[in-house]
Structure 1
Amino acid sequence: MEWDIVRFNDLDTYTLYALLQLRVDVFVVEQNCPYPELDDKDLHPETRHILLKKAGKILAYARILPPDVSFAGAPGVGRVCVAQTARRLGLGEVLVAKAIATAKEGWPGLDIHISAQCYLQRFYESMGFVSASEPYLEDDIPHLKMILAVSHAAG
């Protein structure tokens, strides 16, 4: 297994296909949530894609968005997912830790934002995020805005 952090232009077509397939499998099929998966944010030249690959398959994925793409003045973490066959192995924690480190490296000193599904609130709190909103619907799924204050974040 290998972790990669790449920008859109560095993705080969097979890797792009595999990461989009994972995102659709998790967010559209598993969660029964039709939404516009292709939102142009992947294409931003500063967006980073974090991938865990094994034998050509993507097991875990997240994207790190630069400030002002999803959150005013702050980088964001999104599309955090682990393949169904790779869950309960601790990959989510490693993936989010890598996402945090990547955002800190890319935009030092800026708090990191995420729009988290409400059922994952405790998970993100365990990673240092705190709730910054009341629950709201995003694509008909309850979410919370959560923020990792970089001045308080470990790692």
Structure 2
Amino acid sequence: MGQPLAWACHPFDGFTPQALYEVLALRDRVFVVEQQSIYGDLDGLDQQALHLSGRSPEGRLLAYARLLPPGIKLDRAVAIGRVVVDASVRGTGLGRLLMQQALDAAESAWPGVEIGLSAQVNARSFYESFGFRTVSEPYDDGGILHEDMLRSAGRA
């Protein structure tokens, strides 16, 4: 992928207006336009989340994930969501790097807590490779089959 990315993880009030716009534009481009999934991306949870972003040396947003504390989306687990990589860098291993950064950030912010996510069914093996296990039947979320997955606390 070339030069390493600059990673940042911060609360909602750490966004500049431009950075927030870039995140929302990336999420819209991938989840709504590319995947043709009509859903309410602006769900009122961004203000309670930590936001992880990976930027190129030139400052271009290439990867993003949202981390919600326990009790917001999942009762006793951190919820990782809105996991997205720009189409221009898919297939480079950036998705794996993003997921590892998200796990590290979650474990740092909420040590000893399970981590959960809602995974697209076709990405099951990707998340299983990080120690997640399926804990629900598949369900429709915005026209795409998803399943809930959990990862035990403290997994290396």
Q: TM-score, structure 1 length as denominator? A: 0.94
Number of residues of Structure 1 aligned to a counterpart in Structure 2: 151
Q: Report how far residue 49 of structure 1 moved.
A: 0.6
Partner of 1:52: 54
Q: Report how far residue 53 of structure 1 moved.
A: 1.2
Of 59-68 and 47-56, deviating more is 47-56
Q: Which amino acid aligns with 1:139?
A: G
* Matches of 1:26 and 1:110, distance apart in 2: 29
Residues 6-59 of structure 1, C-alpha deviations (whole Å, 9 max, x = no match): 111011011101111000001000000111111111111xx1111011233210
Partner of 2:28: 24
Partner of 1:68: 71
CA contact (8 A) 2:117 2:149 kept: yes
Residues 98-124 of structure 1, C-alpha deviations (whole Å, 9 max, x = no match): 111111111111110000000000000
Q: Which amino acid aligns with 2:15?
A: L
* Matches of 2:15 and 2:91, distance apart in 1: 27
Q: Which amino acid aligns with 1:20?
A: L
Residues 76-133 of structure 1, C-alpha deviations (whole Å, 9 max, x = no match): 0000000000111111111111111111111111110000000000000011111111
Matches within 5 A, 1:1-155: 1-44=5-48, 47-54=49-56, 55-151=58-154, 153-154=155-156
CA contact (8 A) 1:117 1:143 kept: yes
Q: Which amino acid aligns with 1:112?
A: I
Percent of aligned pairs with the same amino acid: 40
Q: TM-score, structure 2 length as denominator? A: 0.93
Q: Which amino acid aligns with 2:120?
A: Q
SS in 2 for 1:75: strand
RMSD: 1.0
Residues 129-152 of structure 1, C-alpha deviations (whole Å, 9 max, x = no match): 11111111112210010001124x
